[in-house]
Amino acid sequence: MVNQTYTADVLVVGGGTGGTAAAIQAARRGAKTILVSEFTWLGGMLTSAGVSAPDGNELEAFQTGLWGAFLQELRQRQSGGLDNSWVSFFSYDPQIGAEIFADWVQELPNLHWISGDVPIDVFRQGDSITGVRFADFAVTAKIILDGTELGNVLALAEIPYRWGWELQSEWGEPSAPVSFNSLTERYPVQAPTYVVIMQDFGEAMSTAGVAAAPEIPAAPNYNPSQFTGAWDGYGAETFLNYGRLPGGRFMINWPICGNDYGQGVERLIESDVSRGEFIQESRWHSQNFAHFIQNQFGRRYGLAEKVFPHASTAFALHPYYRESRRLVGLTTIREQDILPIAGGRVASIFNDAIAVGNYANDHHYPGVKFPLQPKSIFWGGRWTGTPFTIPYSSLIPATTDGFLVCEKNISVSHIANGATRLQPVVMGIGQAAGMAAAMCVELDCQPRDLSVKALQMALLEDNRSKTAIIPLFNLPPNHSDWLHWQLYYLNNPQAYPGSGDCPCQSWNESSDSAVGKALIRKSNCFKGIFYRLDQQEYKFTVTAPAAYQGQNWQLVTLRSHIDKQLRAYPHEQLVTLWGQINHFGNWLLVEHLNGG
């Protein structure tokens, strides 16, 4: 029974990565906003799903918008820094991430957050969605955003969506299957993972000689053969440090004979009961993987304590969903739209671009190696991904008004979803959707009628979290010409350079500048010998300080002007640099280099 009806300008259903960003941006723009989340933590993949080692948008030029602001907050709040794992440059306690989002929401008096509810039905007037009903209340709004993990509002509103694979004949995607087969039938979408956090309890032994970690019991359906070979080719230590978090904790989100779970994944959208069954099985699967890890490595390792806000505190609040129902929108992002242009390092840009991503196209099917067209490139001494853009029209239904999507549920092919689903790009999608929704309220127009140029300008000039919408490797957000070149390529897309570098004045951050001095204060100074192993592969042998003398480190950077310097340095050059060592990735992240 509906006991109360709220009225808002903007309603965001779902408090995941995209939904949280959308609600915050809409409210910051001035719209009266209501955010309804299923869980008590906001942030989805970044927090409540436990994937607190995010992938993509790691280069300095792509650390913009709410994503960039989130990283800045993490750096200030996370004791010991973010260089803890080798899968990501940023790993953190998920509770700190949840606190950041809660603080951002709390500071906005025009944003009302309701947790613990899921949508049950929608209200319509003709072709428009006008409201959503929950168990005990309803919300009517001018613009409604679906930020649920599985596109639940799409289904309730009967808005056309896709689920599963498209064949090559659909859009000519090179990696799409020619015909449906056993793989497409067994795994219609990518496998989710129920993240569990493990803890290194150290070598402390009780007087009885029992290791500190409690025993992890096996869950139903335990079969150790499922996990055999999980860390072959990596080794135990490297495997654990994949998703290492501060405080001797480990994010267990491992795809190779690990805790990805896809058995009967279609149950996620069949019914509430079948979805609950799948979620329970996936959680058991992760518990069994943790049990297997403990059996192999010993009782030094156990389930972490007091991570998530519920009884089983080592297990995330919900699975990490890699794929959702996907809107049938005005534009559908295809594999071709995320791949590098011929002879280039970037994908072609959409005229209505509103967000940037750069992650590799990454698909998860347990026990299957699925080949995809490569989109990885060497940059800054390591692999990164080809940058691409997200079009605004992929957020808009083909025939429904009053509605936008803002999560993994955008209009994207199954193949391209492997690159658009990552946390930073979804955060950018959410920010753009929230901005668009607020502007539609201001201008009293439908999302499909909103001026794309006006939306792009609003994102570029946002006074709190301006966001890049044209990916340019050498244009960090603090560059004096940043806005000029963003606008130039928006207005002249045919001039967009395949190199991903714009002809701006080189960003020279000398040690005398305020930024340079700040970086030096925050970093450690190293002296040593630079070795060029390949065009984008560098080794550094430390000569000072004495504590690191003789040690070898891989040099990497996220900063364009440092990348340029490294590419120009002669072999066996003596250098002085400032940066941070990541013991688990065996790299030295260079923040400042002598002469730059």
Q: Does 181 fall in a domain?
A: no
The last residue of one of the domains, among 235, 269, 303, is: 303
- Give the tens place of pLDDT for each residue, 479-516: 999 999 999 999 999 999 999 999 987 666 544 454 55
- Give the tens place of pLDDT for each residue, 203-226: 554 444 556 899 999 999 999 999
Q: Which of 427, 426, 423, 455 is nearest to 439 (CA)?
A: 455
Q: Does 313 fall in a domain?
A: no
What pLDDT sits at residue 310? 77
Residues 355 and 406 in one domain: yes
Q: Tell me the average pLDDT of the chain.
A: 94
Q: Does 318 fall in a domain?
A: no
> Which of helix, strand or coil describes residue 170?
helix
Cβ-defined contacts of 180-184 (< 8 Å, 24+): 183/365, 183/368, 183/370
What one-letter code names the amino acid at 240?
L
Average pLDDT, integer, range 291-303: 97
Residues 126 and 218 in one domain: no
Residues 273 and 379 in one domain: no
What pLDDT sits at residue 595? 58
Average pLDDT, integer, range 273-287: 98
Asked if the model's pLDDT at residue 460 lies above 70, the reply is yes
Residues 482 and 559 in one domain: no
What pLDDT sits at residue 511? 44
Residues 476 and 534 in one domain: no
Residues 122 and 26 in one domain: yes
Strand pairing report for 111-115 and 33-37: parallel
Between CA 457 and CA 337 the distance in angstroms is: 23
Question: Cα dihedral sign for 101, 560, 354, 463?
Answer: positive
Domain with 410 in it: 4-161+324-495
Asked if the model's pLDDT at residue 384 lies above 60, the reply is yes
What pLDDT sits at residue 207? 45
Q: Which of 272, 226, 234 is nearest to 86 (CA)?
A: 234
Torsion of CA 392, 398, 400, 403, to 10 degrees: -20
What pLDDT sits at residue 108? 98
The β-bridge partners of 368 are: 365
pLDDT confidence of 594, banded at 50, 70, 90? confident
Residues 100 and 246 in one domain: no
Q: Does 553 fall in a domain?
A: yes
Residue 111, phi then psi, degrees to nearest 5: -115, 115
Residues 409 and 484 in one domain: yes
Cα–chain-centroid distance for residue 345?
21
- Give the tens place of pLDDT for each residue, 347-374: 999 999 999 999 999 999 999 989 999 9
Q: Does 545 fall in a domain?
A: yes
Residues 136 and 206 in one domain: no
Is residue 269 within 8 A of residue 275, CB to CB? The reply is yes
Residues 82 and 218 in one domain: no
pLDDT confidence of 5, banded at 50, 70, 90? very high
What pLDDT sits at residue 212? 84
What pLDDT sits at residue 520? 60
Between CA 462 and CA 183 the distance in angstroms is: 44
Q: Does 583 fall in a domain?
A: yes
Is residue 97 within 8 A of residue 47, CB to CB? The reply is yes
DSSP 195-262: -EEEEE-TT-B-TTS-BSSPP-PPPTT--GGGTTTTTTTT-HHHHHHTTEETTTEEEE--TTTTSB--
Would you call 65 exposed, middle or buried from its count of C-beta atoms within 10 A (0-12, 13-18, 19+)? buried
Between CA 267 and CA 245 the distance in angstroms is: 32
545 preceded by cis ω (within 30°)? yes
Residue 338, phi then psi, degrees to nearest 5: -115, 0
Q: Does 504 fall in a domain?
A: no
Residues 91 and 152 in one domain: yes
Half-sphere exposure at residue 81, Cβ-oriented, CA atoms within 13 angstroms: 14
What pLDDT sits at residue 308? 96
The β-bridge partners of 146 are: 13, 405
Residues 221 and 149 in one domain: no
Output the domain CATH number for residue 130: 3.50.50.60
In this predicted model, which residue has the larger pLDDT, 595 or 430? Answer: 430
Is residue 588 within 8 A of residue 554, CB to CB? The reply is yes
Q: Does 315 fall in a domain?
A: no
What pLDDT sits at residue 516? 52
Of 5-9, 140-144, 200-204, the poorest mean pLDDT is in 200-204
Share of the chain above pLDDT 70, in %: 95
Output the domain CATH number for residue 544: 2.40.50.140
The last residue of one of the domains, among 242, 269, 303, is: 303
The last residue of one of the domains, among 271, 303, 335, is: 303
User: Which structure tokens are listed for 210?
Assistant: 């029992």
Total of domains in the chain: 3
Asked if the model's pLDDT at residue 574 lies above 50, the reply is yes
